[in-house]
Chains A and B, each alone.
Chain A
Amino acid sequence: MSDRPPALALLAADGLTRHYRVRRPGAMFGRRDLLRAVDGVSFAIRPGQTLGLVGESGCGKSTTAKLVLGLAPATAGTVSFDGAPLPAIGTAAWRDLRRRMQMVFQDPLGALDRRLAVGWQIMEPLLIHRLAGPRDARERARAVMASVGLQPHHFDRYPHELSGGQRQRVVLARALITEPRLLVCDEPISALDVSIQAQVVNLLLDLQEKLGVSYLFISHDLKVVRQVSHDVAVMYLGRVVEQGEADALFRDPVHPYTRALVAAIPSPALGGERRRERIVLSGDPPNPIAVPAGCAFHPRCPWAVADCKAATPALRPMPDGRLVACHRAEATPESRAA
């Protein structure tokens, strides 16, 4: 992935960093801690492809999504979309960019205005960007509704009158009506019933095939990420620890954190081989304010050595082209366990 020329990328993030100053509990007079929500993340998404972003909650996935969309300013690093850097927040250029990159939210009911009919909300982006008059917008709304599997009579319904799956289809329709090149899906199915999840995932795959739209697909559900992603990046406490082509990464995870995540996928399809060396995450859950020195993962890592506490491992390429941030990446599983 990293060896491809950047000109091919629809979206490229380079050294993306977002720090927050947070007040320490109980402290006064402005003593503040630094929360490194996102700390030097780089990746690229090619046209028509999907990058899966996985990690535990609090690892910086959602902040990354906001940075990529330009909804929050980055502390450092750059995002370029279609070869051009993101314009400053709130400018006309920024507003115009909205129609080319859109977001799909975790909670479709929250993301919809409960006082407006969904059809109106689907055509609203066209009206905001003055891409169509009211009559034309209505026609296009009906068309995009059909393409996400909504019936024409849903047009005048209110969000609370629809099912969870239908609502997420409405959110998708609203996002797609301006024909964006990139959709950022932040946990798009985790709020849905299990029975509906597969339908929405299949819809996302169909739409990508038909429209050639790229996805940044954020989820903690590795099974789904594996299903939809071409490439995957694994985040831990604001940093990418492993990144590469999806099949290879899931087949043979290198970083101990990725291994733990993959091993925890509750699926018989993954076979018994990996069961053997199943890693159970131990130690304290990660606290993004008190990030451990050295490798952030070392307190929970079964293979940590003295080096891991001293130096932060850089993300470096493996022979197969994937990137891993682990001092012991080259060691064989057998020698690691020792």
Chain B
Amino acid sequence: MAIQDSLGGAAVAAPARSGARRAGRLLLGLPPVVAVSVAWLALALVVAAGADLLAPYAYSALDLKARLSPPVFMGGGWAHPLGTDELGRDVLSRLIVSVRMSLLIALFGTMIAAGLGTVLGFLAAHFRGRVEALILVLIDFQAGMPFMIIALSVLAFFGNNLVLFIVLMGFHAWERYARIARGLTLAANEQGYAAAVRQLGATPLSVYGRHVLPNIASTLIVSMTLSFPEIVLLESGLSFLGLGVQPPLTSLGNMVGYGREYISRAPWIMLAPSVVIVMTTFSISMLGDWLRDRLDPTLK
């Protein structure tokens, strides 16, 4: 609805217009930076979804004859458009697979955190008393310690595997969703529709699921657009340090981490994933800012 508003009445007046043309117009109606961001994210999603089809080589395939060959714009050949690494693996193929890995981790992490935080926020607002006090203490703890340090401590104790790592990313910023869910639910319980529906006799599940959640969804989504790039950064930072995604799997941070050994001889190994990280997080932040301005007057 908000997007249509920005286009004026035109899009509303011609509902029969084809989907593709509508999408095109929609993109043109956006501020240029946001439009570029959307386009980049769409590309990243397509790449992530079709990674197996798009990657010209298997991401771990060695080509020992073509080790450290430069990308096409630095004098390399079209066989490896973005060059190869120290083992002759195709940088483009690894990049494509890494995009999928990093986006998947960030997506799961964001969804776990949103789910966990929202449920805890609801519980706090529903039960009040001791439950709420305990959850508030946990929120304070989570907000008070840098998550990087918490994550590193957990990794030290538990060692590393992919599932644990994704779950760990799912603890990033859960407290923000919990705060939002608790605050808005308390407001709704105090005076508004939630209290009204509860006194109609609705079960808590239907009060929260059917009424409260849809009402706070836009605020939660805005919060997700804030924490998604943070998880991309966190994951790539930890993987860069060698403490995140472990070889033979590859992620964007992991590529940069291994590429930095060759920074003077083959800077493209680390530059390609770096550019992708920066573009992706920048795009989501831009989109998030824009969404926040449109969707959520309470955050202004």
Contacts and interface: CB of A to CB of B under 8 A. Distances in A.
Interface stretch (B36-44, B197-205, B265-273): B197-205
B192, B193, B201 interface centre (most CB from chain A within 10 Å): B201
A99 B201 contact: yes
B206 interface: yes
Interface stretch (A111-119, A148-156, A257-265, A324-332): A111-119
Main secondary structure of the interface of B (DSSP, over half): helix
Interface residues of A, number: 24
A98 B196 contact: no
Interface string B78-91: 00000000000000
Nearest to B204: A90
B201 A98 contact: yes
A140 to B, nearest CB: 15
A17 B36 CA distance: 63
A112 B199 contact: no
Contact of B199 (A98, A113, A116): A98
Nearest to B202: A128
B25 interface: no
B199 A125 contact: no
Interface in B193-231: 193, 195-203, 206, 211, 214-215
Contact of A112 (B193, B201, B203, B206): B193
A129 B196 CA distance: 15
Contact of A110 (B192, B200, B201, B211): B192
A95 B201 CA distance: 5
Main secondary structure of the interface of A (DSSP, over half): mixed
B191 interface: yes
Interface in A88-110: 95-99, 102-103, 105, 107, 110
Contact of B215 (A98, A105, A113, A171): A113
A88 to B, nearest CB: 14
Contacts of B199: 69, 71, 98, 102-103
Given A99-B201, A124-B200, A115 B192 contact: no
B191 A110 contact: yes
A138 to B, nearest CB: 17
A105 B200 CA distance: 12
Given A107-B191, A110-B191, A124 B197 contact: yes
B129 to A, nearest CB: 11
List 3 A-B pairs, minimum CB-CB distance, nearest first.
A98-B201, A110-B192, A111-B196
